[in-house]
Amino acid sequence: MTIFKRILEAQETLGKTYDESQSPEEKESFRLAIDALWFIWTNGQSDEFEDYRKDVESDAPARVVAAFNTRDEADAWLKANPRPPNSAYVLIANEYYVVMWFREGNVRSLVRRPILEFHLEEMMRDGLPPAAATFNTRDEADTWFSGQSEPPAQTVIQIGGEHYLAAYYRNINHRAFFPFSLVERLKEEESEE
Q: Are residues 130 and 108 in the same domain?
A: no
If asked whether residues 80 and 142 sit together in one domain, one would say no
Residue 22 pLDDT exceeds 70: yes
Strands (E), the chain: 66-68, 89-92, 95-102, 107-112, 133-135, 154-159, 162-169, 174-179
Instruction: State whether 142 and 173 are in the same domain.
Output: yes
Residues 128 and 184 occupy one common structural domain: yes
At 111-142, the pLDDT tens digits run 999 999 999 999 999 999 999 999 999 999 99
Q: State pLDDT tens for residues 74-98.
A: 999 999 999 999 999 999 999 999 9
Dist. CA 163–CA 154, nearest whole Å: 13
pLDDT, tens digit, for every residue of 159-191? 999 999 999 999 999 999 999 999 987 777 776
Average pLDDT of the residues of the chain: 92
30 Cβ contact partners less than 8 Å away, ≥ 6 residues apart: 14, 15, 17, 18, 21
Residues 122 and 100 in one domain: no
Range of the domain at 90: 66-112
Domain count along the chain: 3
Question: Within this chain, do residues 105 and 147 fall inside the same structural domain, yes or no?
Answer: no
Among the candidates 57, 76, 101, a domain finishes at 57
Same domain, 43 and 78: no
**79 and 35 part of one domain:** no
